[in-house]
Amino acid sequence: MIDLRSDTVTRPTDEMRLAMSRADVGDDVYGEDPTVAELEEEVAGLLGQEAALYCVTGSLANALAVRAVVPVGTELLCEAQAHVVRAELGAHAALAGVTTRTWSHPRGLADVDLVAPMVAPDVGPYFVRTAAVSVENTHNFAGGTVQTPEQMASVRALCDAEGLAMHVDGARLWNAAAATGAHPQVLTGGADVVAVCLSKGLGAPVGSLVAGSRETVDAARVWRKRLGAGWRQAGMLAAGGLWALRHHRERLVDDHAHARLLAEACGVDPATVETNIVVAPVPDAAAVVGRLASRGVRAGATGPSTLRLVTHLDVSEQDARDAARIVAEELA
């Protein structure tokens, strides 16, 4: 099976497993796991933040991040297809009393011309107040689209002008960095709080981080424990994340090349595929997924007529070529 459903399906490499088995560990609730501390410091550095906190999922990292910058009963602005509003099961409302309003952009981008008119100032006890803007980089459901450093800076400028906080869902920020050659920090636009995943294309088995100021991360640590997600000798997992961060970032460009091969097979202009996700319109996505599965290619349907193919560490160039041929035949 060539599994293109998601970049979350990777299995740790032998070298990563070795690093994990040898990790130095301690009780992280006591702040005594050296490998977790090393990972947190390294990620904070890459994102230009004071501190970071290791979390079990990107959804938890986003939940802690949004809670940190959006007070109860105020609102977060985000794009209509953003993971925070579509794929986290209402977490921000359910856990933190956060409301959301969305703008729509065909490529999922945070275009300040769309965002600026939505900002709701504090007018007392009449209307909800906007507290923060969330940007997803790369944007998952829009097809792995990248927001450039310039676009991120323009959102930062808007937030500064309006007194708002900025959140970045950087589950695939590493892909944006590989695609543009820009430093990860620059691709966050200097956001107040950033979530990143190690368990997507980087290939770690588990783990995400939330990064921000020391104060934000200290508060997130309290909430992580309160939600029952503190962990003990997690260094064995963190070691997989460190390995992924140090050895699998540069190779993400290969995934992007493989995605362009698949795009061609789907009749999608490869030039529009910026990273590792191909979103293709098809007449009946569920039927196509079924036919592909019977031929050894697992794909995803993200809508009734939307096929999604995602490349990652466990898809070789040969796999991508084989899958592209099968996809082209099934769509013909």
Does residue number 81 form part of the binding site for ligand PLP (CB under 6 A)? no
How far apart are the C-alpha atoms of 25 and 9, rounded to whole Å? Answer: 26
CB of 27 to ligand PLP, least distance (A): 24
**Residue closer to ligand PLP, measured from CB, 80 or 328:** 80
Residue 12 or 58 having the CB closest to ligand PLP: 58
Letters for 257-296 (x = contact with ligand PLP by CB under 6 A, - = none) are: ----------------------------------------
**CB-side neighbour CA atoms (13 Å) of 307:** 29
Q: How far is the CB of 332 from ligand PLP (least distance, A)?
A: 30
The distance of closest approach from Cβ of residue 138 to ligand PLP in the complex, given in angstroms and rounded to an integer, is 8
> For ligand PLP, which is the closer residue by CB, 57 or 275?
57
x-or-dash string of contact with ligand PLP, 132-151, rule CB under 6 A: ----x---x-----------
Residues numbered 18 to 57 that lie near ligand PLP (CB under 6 A) are: 57
By the rule CB under 6 A, 171 interacts with ligand PLP = yes
Rounded to an integer, what distance in angstroms lies between the CA atom of residue 79 and that of residue 135? 7
Which candidate, 84, 59, 64, places its Cα nearest to that of 141? 84
Question: Which residues on neighbouring strands pair with residue 101, listed in sequence order?
Answer: 77
Instruction: Check residue 79 for interaction with ligand PLP (CB under 6 A).
Output: no
Residue with tokens 């070529």, as numbered in its chain: 321
Binding positions for ligand PLP, 222-261, rule CB under 6 A: none
SS3 32: coil
* 85, 119, 132, 197: residue in contact with ligand PLP (rule CB under 6 A): 197
Report the residue number, 172 or 221, with the smaller CB distance to ligand PLP: 172
Pair type for strands 300-303 and 193-197: unpaired
Single out the residue of 155, 146, 73, 145 nearest to residue 114, CA to CA.
Answer: 155
Choosing from 169, 192, 274, 319, the residue that interacts with ligand PLP (CB under 6 A) is: 169
Whose Cβ is closer to ligand PLP: residue 176's or residue 285's?
Answer: 176
Query: Among residues 154, 188, 208, 275, which is the contact residue for ligand PLP, using CB under 6 A?
Result: 208
d(CA 325, CA 207): 34
How many residues does this entry show for the chain? 332
Nearest approach, Cβ of residue 55 and ligand PLP (Å): 9
CB 57 → ligand PLP: shortest distance, Å?
3
Q: Does 83 bind ligand PLP (CB under 6 A)?
A: yes
Residue closest to ligand PLP when measured from CB atoms: 58
Q: Which DSSP symbol is given to 177?
A: H
Burial status of residue 8 (CB atoms within 10 A of its CB: 0-12, 13-18, 19 or more) = middle
Q: Note whether 4 and 323 are within 8 A (CB).
A: yes
| Angle in degrees, CA 122, 210, 108, rounded to 5 | 65
Site string for ligand PLP, 293-332 (x = CB under 6 A): ----------------------------------------
**Residue with Cβ nearer ligand PLP (2 or 91):** 91
How many whole angstroms from its chain centre is CA 6? 12
The DSSP code sequence of 92-112 is HHHHH--EEEEE--TT----H
Sheet holding 300-303, edge to edge: 277-281, 306-310, 300-303
Tell me, by CB under 6 A, how many residues bind ligand PLP: 12
Question: By CB under 6 A, is residue 203 in contact with ligand PLP?
Answer: no
DSSP bridge pairs for 145: 139
How far apart (Å, rounded) are the C-alpha atoms in residues 258 and 242? Answer: 25
Binding-site ranges for ligand PLP (CB under 6 A): 57-59, 62, 83, 136, 140, 169, 171, 197, 199, 208
